[in-house]
Amino acid sequence: MVFLCRLVDDAIASSTEESAEICWLSPDEVEKRFVPAFAVRVADALDGRSEAAVRAHDGVSVLNLGASG
């Protein structure tokens, strides 16, 4: 799951009870650090569409099943 966020304060927590690491990444950094099945979620969130993007994946790669989105 991906959440699109914006910075509202100068302080960013380095960890929480629910996560081991919190960081802000550029779209290029996301593509370099994560497998395509996850990176595409960030790209979809930044695309600005109002509808949800639904995609199939095998845990690593996005599968092209003929559906748009």
pLDDT tens, position by position, 27-64: 999 999 999 988 998 898 888 888 888 888 898 998 88
Q: What is the pLDDT of residue 17?
A: 86
Q: What is the pLDDT of residue 31?
A: 93
Q: What is the pLDDT of residue 39?
A: 92
* pLDDT tens digits, 15-25: 788 887 777 88
User: What letter does residue 47 receive in the DSSP assignment?
Assistant: T
Give phi and psi for 33, each to the nearest 5: -90, -25
22: CB partners within 8 A, 6+ apart: 12, 13, 14, 15, 16
